């Protein structure tokens, strides 16, 4: 089957599963999206770990890595996918320099990075909410740099993955807060634990907006 045929069949299966229920359609659609995204990340993470454990140096500067942080996975052949034979490791700055020298577009550099923005929150047991993330205007203006936004619970490792396009409708000027240059607040409320709750901001006092999500435990990626 061709990729477009697989997509069309998947869409039909989701519609059949929902049977006219818009909530079931949304949940199934988001579940499939999130799982496929995690499958791709798991593949990349496995390759990255294997190359790092083999003590492979930076492909660009040939210096060893002192830490696992800021190590990027780079595809040698940009027309092919992620595989051990097609991937090398680079320091973050070396990776950017490599693309700059090749005169590639900035979007290509970002594509080769972990194109997932990870937002982390500790647990707040003494507050009316359980988790809390802030989104700054500068970050919201650069959503196109990322394929997905991941909200991570630091204590349990649970995470949900949301496409940036799904967040844009919630980040309106009237929902900005007075904190940190009018950032937006995203929370998990104690009575809405399967949803992201968007703070009302200064324009809609007392009215949260909710986005249903699927929480996946971090251990599923091990």
| CA–CA distance, 37 with 150 (Å, rounded to integer) | 11
> Has this prediction a pTM greater than 0.85?
no
Domain ranges of the chain: 3-112, 116-221
Average pLDDT over residues 182-195: 93
Residue 102: its pLDDT value, please? 62
Task: Take residue 127 and report the two structure tokens written for it.
Answer: 């507050």
Q: From the CA atom positions of the chain, what is the Rg in Å?
A: 20
The DSSP code sequence of 41-108 is HHHHHHHHHHHHHTT---TTT-PPPS-STTEEEEESSTTS---GGGEEEEEHHHHHHHHHHTT--HHH
- pLDDT, tens digit, for every residue of 146-155? 878 889 999 8
> What percentage of residues in the chain have a pLDDT greater than 90?
24
Average pLDDT over residues 179-208: 85
Answer yes or no: is pLDDT of 104 > 50. no
Q: Largest alpha-carbon pair distance within the chain?
A: 57
């Amino acid at each position: 089957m061709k990729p477009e045929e697989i997509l069309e069949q998947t869409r039909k299966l989701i519609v059949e599963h929902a049977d006219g229920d818009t909530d079931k359609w949304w949940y199934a659609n988001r579940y499939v999206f999130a799982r496929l995204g995690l499958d791709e990340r798991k593949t990349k993470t496995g390759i990255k770990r294997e190359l790092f454990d083999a003590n492979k140096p930076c492909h660009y500067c040939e210096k060893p890595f002192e830490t696992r942080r800021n190590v990027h996975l780079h595809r040698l052949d940009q027309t092919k996918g992620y595989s051990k034979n097609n991937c090398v490791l680079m320091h973050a700055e070396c990776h950017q320099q490599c693309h700059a020298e090749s005169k590639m577009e900035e979007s290509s550099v970002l594509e080769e990075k972990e194109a997932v923005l990870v937002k982390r929150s500790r647990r707040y047991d003494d507050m009316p909410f359980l988790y809390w993330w802030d989104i700054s205007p500068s970050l919201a203006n650069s959503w196109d740099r990322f394929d997905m936004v991941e909200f991570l619970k630091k204590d349990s490792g649970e995470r949900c993955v949301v496409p940036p396009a799904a967040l844009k409708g919630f980040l309106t000027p009237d929902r900005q807060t007075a904190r940190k240059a009018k950032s937006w607040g995203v929370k998990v409320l104690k009575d809405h634990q399967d949803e992201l709750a968007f703070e009302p901001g200064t324009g809609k006092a007392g009215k949260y907006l909710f986005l249903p999500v699927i929480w996946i435990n971090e251990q599923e990626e091990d």
